[in-house]
């Protein structure tokens, strides 16, 4: 009986691989930018599963780019160091002391954790921040917020060099200002800017919800830019989903083919979205 069950499992696995072939061909050579949120990182087991999926994507010819957040880790470190954060209109004021902690946590602890996870699964990941090789140049978003930046110039040469070497870039959302100062960038914003500069086939925003929901609380699997604007205007899209959908619309304007908002805690979420009919989350296209 056990052998019969195993045989059925092998047949199912082989069928899944066979059915994935058209999708593997579609994405060969494509660039896919993945925003990995702090809440979506979860346990070591979840991180290893995500890393394995990314390595598989690279193995079949996709150029994945990982842009990560790290809000929960930053909050924990600020608390340990007894650094108090102030907020203006719901946004953290990033003073000189805070931006040092942000850079230490994002470029150090979080970035290297993801790099190590990918390397453990047989991939070749390179960790960097938006400050490296002038990848992301920033302007100050608002003087009241301190060292919070908005990308205004991108230099993706270093990413294309890594693609040519079949390496996986893992990017901390930091940027440099006109005088070399460090700016903290919202992770979704950074991912959208990088995806736009690369004209990525897909931008995947991994978060801790299933996707964009309609007025009845059901996930809408396919949306246009105009529907997003209407949902925002009538209050259907609210709270933390607003900056994610704003990032999606900005990325579409810059030439990204489509943006998907999906639950990064779900096993194999990226593979489901790219390589199956099922998909995952909410896909947003222009129009």
Active site residues: 35, 38, 71, 188, 244
Residue 114's nearest CA partner among 191, 169, 180 is 169
Dump the DSSP string for 205-223.
EEESSSS-B-TTSPBPSEE
As a whole number of angstroms, the distance between CA 221 and CA 138 comes to: 34
As a whole number of angstroms, the distance between CA 284 and CA 249 comes to: 8
As a whole number of angstroms, the distance between CA 63 and CA 88 comes to: 38
Residue 168's nearest CA partner among 274, 62, 271, 60 is 62
Six token digits for residue 201: 């086939």
SS3 content of the chain, % helix, strand, coil (to 5): 45, 25, 30
Whether the Cβ atoms of residue 93 and residue 146 lie closer than 8 Å to each other:
yes
């Amino acid at each position: 009986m056990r052998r019969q069950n195993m045989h059925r499992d092998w047949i199912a696995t082989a069928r899944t691989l066979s059915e994935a072939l058209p999708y593997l061909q579609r994405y060969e050579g494509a660039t896919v930018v993945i925003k990995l949120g702090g809440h979506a990182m979860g346990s070591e087991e979840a991180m290893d599963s995500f890393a394995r999926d990314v390595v598989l994507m690279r193995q079949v010819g996709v150029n994945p780019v990982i842009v990560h957040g790290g809000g929960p880790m930053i909050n924990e470190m600020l608390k340990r160091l007894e650094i108090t954060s102030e907020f203006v209109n719901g946004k953290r004021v990033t003073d000189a002391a805070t931006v040092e902690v942000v850079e230490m946590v994002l470029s150090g602890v979080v970035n290297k954790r993801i790099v190590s996870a990918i390397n453990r699964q047989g991939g070749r990941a390179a960790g960097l921040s938006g400050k490296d090789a002038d990848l992301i140049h920033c302007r100050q978003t608002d003087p009241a917020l301190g060292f919070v930046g908005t990308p205004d110039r991108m230099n993706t040469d270093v990413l294309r060099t890594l693609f040519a070497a079949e390496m996986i870039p893992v990017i901390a959302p930091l940027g440099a200002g006109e005088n070399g100062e460090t700016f903290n960038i919202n992770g979704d914003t950074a991912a959208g800017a990088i995806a736009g500069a690369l004209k990525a086939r897909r931008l995947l925003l991994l978060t801790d919800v299933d996707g964009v929901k309609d007025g009845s609380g059901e996930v809408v699997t396919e949306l246009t830019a105009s529907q997003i604007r209407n949902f925002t205007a009538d209050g259907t899209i609210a709270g933390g989903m607003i900056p994610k959908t704003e990032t999606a619309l900005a990325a579409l304007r810059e030439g990204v083919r489509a943006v998907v908002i999906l639950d990064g805690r779900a096993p194999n979420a990226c593979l489901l979205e790219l390589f199956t009919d099922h998909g995952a989350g909410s896909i947003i296209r222009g129009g």
